[in-house]
Amino acid sequence: MEQTEKPRITATGLVRPVSNGPAPVSQSNNGFDASRVPVLSESLDDSELFRMYRLMLLIRRFEETCGQHYSLGNIRGFLHLYIGQEATGIGAITPLEARDYIVTHYRDHGHAIARGLDTNRIMAEMFGKNTGLSKGKGGSMHIFDAPQRFMGGHAIVGAQLPLAAGIALAQQYMETDVVTMVFFGDGATNQGTFHETLNLASVWQLPVIFFMENNLYGMGSAVGRVRHRGSDFSDAMGAYDVDVVSVDGMDVLAVREATQAAIDQVRAHGSPIFIEAKTFRFVGHSFADPGDQYRDRSEVDLWRRRDPLVTYPKRLLEYGVVTESDLDDLSASVDAEIEAAVEFAMNSPNPDMSEAFDDVYA
């Protein structure tokens, strides 16, 4: 079959200079030039801009609440919070359509919320209850909702990558225009599965978006200590001839625009794209992370100053998309949703022992 030549995707044009942008930041801010930030997107209406903020706030409050219930012993096992990375998840997932697939790793609550999965059932999964999305048997790292095409939640670093390629291969075989998006961290790029999957995805021209959330650390290891090229991923895909788009992961609109362009291209041409969002987790790797001692306080503070839960609503106010009272109402409605989710989880039964071996594929 003759292939039409695919256009090369580029993030150029996604960022527009602003006269009174924030003060430039140092290189330690992951190389992102904060003096160039996008204006509010022209392609999104006010209700969508507002919905994106609601989802970001929902993730933040969900995560904070999970942290509290972990300390109380109501949530057990591992808990990897997404606090700080909300703009990336929302910018990446909101432009997907319902027929598209998402595969992700253990830092998955934010992705699940962004996908619009039932907050009650995500929370119940956290609490290990049988009303949870994985019937309480998966927990925090294994959120799964096949009808919504949310295919996990995977605890093994890099394991989700070949699964995503398999889903994309099936779509290619069935000649659909469905896009598969797979999330992973910078640490996963050192796994063999990453290179194997990239290679085959390129050879077979699979319709998959490789979405890397580069938060600069894999557990306690700074990316520069474990990767030959450090935090620079610009030519990471050279060997596979896959386009790379690098975007500011603290800017929800920049992520959304870059991702929308990538989705359009993958849908039309069926070839893989690699997106790198530069972001940061504000808290430890997981609740087992003893005090986050491998990061300099000043580095964390620098990133916290770019908290998307502060900068984005500020922009919405500046551009007249919302009023202060809209934001107050929103905050109350998000709190009510989280409170209801906790109540639902607390009041749900544990999985029955008789179901222990159900759904085991062996």
Strand order in the sheet with 273-278: 101-103, 180-185, 208-214, 273-278, 243-248
Quick one: which segment of 9-17, 210-218, 262-270, 321-329 binds ligand TPP (CB under 6 A)? 210-218
Beta-carbon contacts of 182 under 8 Å, excluding residues fewer than 6 positions away, are: 102, 103, 104, 160, 161, 163, 164, 208, 209, 210, 211
Sole window of 66-74, 86-94, 108-116, 180-188 interacting with ligand TPP (rule: CB under 6 A) = 180-188
DSSP count for the chain of H helices, then E strands: 11, 7
Residues 142-161 that bind ligand TPP (CB under 6 A): 155-157
- Contacts of residue 295, defined as CB under 8 A and 6 or more positions apart, other chains included, come to 217
- The beta strand positions in the chain, using DSSP E, are 101-103, 180-185, 208-214, 217-218, 221-222, 243-248, 273-278
CB of 325 to ligand TPP, least distance (A): 36
Would you count residue 186 as binding ligand TPP (CB under 6 A)?
yes
Comparing CB distances to ligand TPP, the nearer of 190 and 205 is 190
Q: Does 188 bind ligand TPP (CB under 6 A)?
A: yes
Does 303 help bind ligand TPP (rule: CB under 6 A)? Answer: no
For residue 183, what are the β-bridge partners?
211
List residues bridging with 33 in a β-sheet.
Answer: none
**Beta strand 221-222 with 217-218: parallel, antiparallel or unpaired?**
antiparallel
Instruction: By CB under 6 A, tell whether 141 contacts ligand TPP.
Output: no
Q: 88 is written with which tokens?
A: 């990336």
Q: How many CA atoms lie within 13 A of 288 on its CB side?
A: 7
- Least distance CB 108 / ligand TPP (angstroms): 10
Q: Near ligand TPP by CB under 6 A, which window of 33-41, 61-69, 215-223, 226-234?
A: 215-223
- Determine the Cα–Cα distance for residues 334 and 119; give it in Å rounded to an integer: 11
Which residue's CB is nearer to ligand TPP, number 257 or number 276?
A: 276
Site string for ligand TPP, 254-293 (x = CB under 6 A): -------------------------------x--------
Residue closest to ligand TPP, measured at CB: 185
Q: How far is the CB of 283 from ligand TPP (least distance, A)?
A: 11
Q: Is 165 an interacting residue with respect to ligand TPP (CB under 6 A)? A: no
| Site for ligand TPP contains 215 (CB under 6 A) | yes
Q: CA separation (Å) from 205 to 120, 133, 197, 274?
A: 38, 32, 11, 13
Give whichever of 89 and 351 is closer to ligand TPP, judged by the CB atom.
Answer: 89
- Which is nearer to ligand TPP, 185 or 351 (by Cβ)? 185
**Phi and psi at residue 209, in whole multiples of 5°?**
-105, 120
* Footprint of ligand TPP (CB under 6 A): 107, 155-157, 184-188, 215, 217-219, 285
